[in-house]
Amino acid sequence: MYEVYIHVPFCLRRCGYCDFNTYTASDLGGGASRDHYAAMAIREMRLVKQWQIDHGITEPAASTVFFGGGTPTVLPPSSLGAMLRAVDELWGLAPGAEVTTEANPDTVDHDSIAALRDLGFNRISFGMQSAVPRVLKTLDRTHTPANVTQGVKAAAQIGLRSSVDLIYGTPGEDMGDWRYSVQTALDLGVDHISAYALTLEPTTAMGRAVAHGTMPGPDDDDEAAKYALADAMFTEAGLDWYEISNWARPGYESRHNLGYWRNVDWAGIGPGAHSHYNGVGRGQDVRSWDIAHPKRWAQAIDRRDVPWQGSERIDAFEHAEELIMLGVRLREGLDCTRVERAVARIPGHKGAKTIEGERGPHADPIDDLVAEGLIEVHGTRIIPTLRGRLLNDALIERLYEAYGL
């Protein structure tokens, strides 16, 4: 399976909580402008394709393409379509490929969504965040709840699948606000909803306000209660969790998101985008990341360099850790047989054993996690409970210990 992620680093306005690699200027110089962005991204795709050829990497046709940001829809549909055509020309698009763009609800309308459909897009992810105007104001969002409704309705009429993103834990958001936002998202009739806890970095405007005491910070207990409420409401409405922060009706899961958590190959295009390749060179996985600033990214492309800021090889120890970390985020669970095989490949690892029976060699610590209500065990798969999802970081550490990592 192969995926392509295209990062569009432009926004009309930078939200106070956002620490993504985004810029509000329309032209950052050196070819890094909204007008020239599609052409530069296509040039990077060609460089990446040549790098793959030079390293003996043969990828299948892309099964998913995801445009993220930033706000991809600040670019005209023609620019997004040009980048999608380049993916098809260089790697091909698999039959039925999932092609998604993120969208700020106030940057699209019926005509632009129709244009995206005609260009090959079949899914759109709206940044809803909240249905409460004062919460949106705290988050510095420019759209209104009505924008979201109009966008989702237009997408449905045109034939695109829609998803909405929510954020919980905004300062000043009470439980009634959150319940209203969740219900409003459900009332839209979408088949996929993501819900993320607000996290603050000290370099953001909101992070600085919290540090200076002019705004209250997120509360862990409050966020846990809001997560549990959302999970219950989504489940009752027929949306099942399939990844800690994502719920969908059966068959409507984001295949692109699942690919990340399953550790497939993907190419990241655009400033700051990450890529991942399995088994390059000496058999180790490779992770790379692009230069973050658009101007320096464009300058590297002008030199005909793959615009990587850096890369690293993932050794056997790190690979085993990643299998655990990624696996326990998913409803399909952690495959213990894969972990045992990965642990067995760690040079000099004393605890590496072959799976014995259904439960594997670490029955006692696994039994402890079951008894504490953190996991369920189905055959050779470990699946986090609601409590395990809420305490996921602690669960991962306990599993590292169980496997001697």
Tell me what pLDDT residue 193 has: 98
- Kindly tell me if the per-residue pLDDT of 1 is higher than 70: yes
In this prediction, residues 233-261 reach a mean pLDDT of 97
Q: What is the DSSP string of 2-61?
A: EEEEEEE-B-SS--TT--SS-B--SB-STT-BHHHHHHHHHHHHHHHHHHHHHTT-----
The predicted-structure confidence for 132-161, as pLDDT tens digits, reads as follows 999 999 888 888 999 999 999 999 999 999
Count how many Cα atoms sit within 13 Å of the Cα of residue 75 in the half-sphere of its side chain.
30
Structure tokens at 233: 């409401």
The predicted-structure confidence for 168-223, as pLDDT tens digits, reads as follows 999 999 999 999 999 999 999 999 999 999 987 777 777 787 777 877 878 889 99
Considering the entire predicted model, what is its pTM? Answer: 0.92
Single-letter residue type at 234:
F
Distance between CA atoms of residues 101 and 53, nearest Å: 28
Q: Residue 361's pLDDT band (boundaries 50, 70, 90)?
A: very low
Q: What percentage of the chain exceeds 70 in pLDDT?
A: 94
Tell me what pLDDT residue 216 has: 80
Least confident of 100-104, 159-163, 265-269, 341-345: 341-345
Tell me what pLDDT residue 282 has: 54
DSSP letter (8 states) at residue 216: P
Tell me what pLDDT residue 208 has: 81
Tell me what pLDDT residue 45 has: 98
In this prediction, residues 79-87 reach a mean pLDDT of 98
Least confident of 3-17, 97-111, 286-300, 371-385: 3-17
Tell me what pLDDT residue 356 has: 42
Single-letter residue type at 253:
E
Tell me what pLDDT residue 146 has: 93
- Kindly tell me if the per-residue pLDDT of 18 is higher than 80: no
